[in-house]
Amino acid sequence: MIANAADALSDVHPRVEDGLATPSRIRRHQRFGIVVGAIFTPILFAAMWPVTFDSREELFEIPKGTWARRMAGEKREILPSEIHLLVGVHNVLMLKNSDDVPQIFGPTLLMPGQSLRLPFTRPSENYFACTAHASGQLVIVVEAAPTWPWSRLSWRVRRMLRWLSKP
C-alpha cells in the first residue's frame, strides 16, 4: 500500500523527483529563451519588415564651392563608384550641381543649379563612363525590390556588409 502510494506520487509529480522544475532550471530556461529571442527577433524582424525608404531618390549633390576647393588641392569624392538602387522603392538617381561652374557628374554634364533625375525601372547593371573615378566608370546596380522574407533578409545583410566595408 505504501509502495503503491509512492508510485502514485511519482506519477503525479515526476518532474519534482527529476529536478526539472527547480528554480535554477527555470532560470536557465529563461536565460536560454532570452538569448534565443535576442538572436531570432532581429532576424525575424529583418526578414518580415518591408524594405522602405523615406524617398525614392538617392541624392548626390555637388556643394557650392567644390570647384574652388578642388582648385585649392582638396580631394573629395562625392559620387561613389558603385550605387545600389531598388526597383519601385528606391529607384531614382538624383544628381544635383549646386556649384557655380558646370561639372561632369556621373554620366553627364550639369550646369550650375541643374539636376538630373534618372529613374531605373528594371533590375540591371548600368555602366557609365565617368572621369571622376579612378576606374573611369560609375556602376549603378539596380535590384528587384525584395518582397519575400528571405530576399529581405539577404538584402539587409548585403547592405550592412557594404556599409561596414566603406572606408
For 11, half-sphere exposure in the C-beta direction (CA atoms, 13 angstrom radius) is: 6
**Rounded least distance, CB 145 to another protein, Å:** 5
> Given the rule CB under 8 A, which residues bind another protein?
44, 48-52, 87-89, 93, 104, 107-111, 113-119, 121-122, 124, 126-131, 136, 145-147, 149
- CA-CA-CA-CA torsion for 140, 141, 146, 151, nearest 10 degrees? -150
In the bound state with another protein, the residue whose beta carbon lies nearer, of 95 and 164, is 95
Beta-carbon contacts of residue 140 (< 8 Å; ≥ 6 apart): 82, 83, 84, 85, 93, 120, 125, 126, 128
**Rounded least distance, CB 116 to another protein, Å:** 5
In the bound state with another protein, the residue whose beta carbon lies nearer, of 8 and 37, is 37
In the bound state with another protein, the residue whose beta carbon lies nearer, of 10 and 121, is 121
**Rounded least distance, CB 94 to another protein, Å:** 10
In the bound state with another protein, the residue whose beta carbon lies nearer, of 109 and 157, is 109
Beta-carbon contacts of residue 67 (< 8 Å; ≥ 6 apart): 99, 100, 101, 103
**Rounded least distance, CB 142 to another protein, Å:** 10
Q: Reduce the DSSP state of residue 96 to 3 states and report it.
A: strand
